[in-house]
Amino acid sequence: MAEKRSTYRAVHAVSPGKLELAEKPLLGPPAGHVRVRVEACGVCHSDSATVEGALPIQWPRVPGHEAVGRIDLIGEGVEGWVVGQRVGVGFLGGSCGYCGYCRDGDIVNCINQGYTGVQHDGGYAEVMIAKASGLMAVPDALSSIDAAPLLCAGLTTFSALRNSPARAGDLVAVFGVGGLGHLGVQYARRMGFEVVAIDRGGDRAELAKKLGAHHHIDSSASDVAKALQALGGAAVVLATASGGKAVASVLGGLRRGGTVISLGATDEPIELSAFELLFKQLGVDGALTGTPAAGDATLRFSAISDVAAMIEAMPLERAADAYAKMMSGNARFRMVLTMG
């Protein structure tokens, strides 16, 4: 009989830009939490906030907020989850249930909610502790590797589109066919929108069509706003590309009452024309991931609609390589760590 291990392997950030493989002591979950045996974890650009030290964290810290695994121990007071159940852990670490936002039903903006892989250790590990209020249920139809990127990249794009003012048949554009955008195009098509994919250069035009786009606009060769207006004007533009200038460039492509939803985190300001905001009633919005229930819906919708991320998997011990490839922009399109 194999001896039970008292430690587990994890890759943690020990200083800005430096990831190291380590052995950590295996601990039980506190009240309200579960312990998860991680099977796969996506490598997301937001992990750079931890790895590069952009956010205030305590070193060392294990990054990773696209973790999928099975519950192996349940803390006191946890209900609704069982040992052996496969779950997902996303960016939002779990709402408190008692702050003003939670009391009003807005658990995404809970002020006491820590971020996974930032305030507490994430999924670049064989084991992690997760708050039960933030868990998502993973359907049997999805493998752990396929489910992992859907917990952040998928959830963010799915929720943004599902909660947008666009309705079936409307023109919806996805700006940037990358890690977020290649999923956004698929969701938009399956939600019944007329889909425009916008990207710099023509090399992704064929891919965009295969993913479900009806139209492709090369932003390096065309005036994006004029091209969108030629198609009738977009009800919604999902801007996955980071940068305020990119967001501002598509405002003129909106129909009256249209909205740009920005998903790319950037400090670059977005320049807006008050005239357009007033006389065309344009809107600019942002979307930060989604609720655990929306995560459940993202996973179910992806399974029944055959939405899938394009994935390259690497073992946990190669986390630094996977992270570097993601940060270089050479990933096509999501890196996922596997725990063997």
CB 138 within 8 A of CB 99: no
Answer yes or no: do 29 and 146 share one domain: yes
Answer yes or no: do 99 and 160 share one domain: no
pLDDT tens figures, 209-268: 999 999 999 999 999 999 999 999 999 999 997 778 888 889 999 999 999 999 987 778
What is the total count of domains within the chain? 2
Geometric angle at alpha carbon 14, from 9 and 20, rounded to 5°: 40
CB atoms near residue 49 (< 10 Å): 17
CB atoms near residue 301 (< 10 Å): 18
User: CB under 8 Å to 135, separation ≥6 — which residues?
Assistant: 34, 81, 87, 88, 89, 94, 292
Answer yes or no: do 147 and 227 share one domain: no
Whether 333 maps to a domain, the answer reads yes
Answer yes or no: do 272 and 302 share one domain: no
Answer yes or no: do 312 and 332 share one domain: yes
Q: Which of 184, 160, 173 has its CA nearest to residue 232?
A: 173
Whether 79 maps to a domain, the answer reads yes
Instruction: Decide: helix, strand or coil at residue 87.
Output: strand
CATH number at residue 166: 3.40.50.720
Answer yes or no: do 21 and 146 share one domain: yes
CATH number at residue 56: 3.90.180.10
pLDDT tens figures, 94-106: 999 999 999 999 9
Whether 2 maps to a domain, the answer reads no
Answer yes or no: do 207 and 116 share one domain: no
**Residue-number span of the structural domain to which 105 is assigned:** 7-151+290-338
Answer yes or no: do 32 and 78 share one domain: yes
- Show which of 265, 286, 307 is a domain's final residue: 286
Q: Which of 104, 39, 121 has its CA nearest to residue 72?
A: 39
Q: What's the whole-model pTM score?
A: 0.96
Whether 210 maps to a domain, the answer reads yes
Amino acid in the structure at residue 248: A
pLDDT tens figures, 146-161: 999 999 999 999 999 9
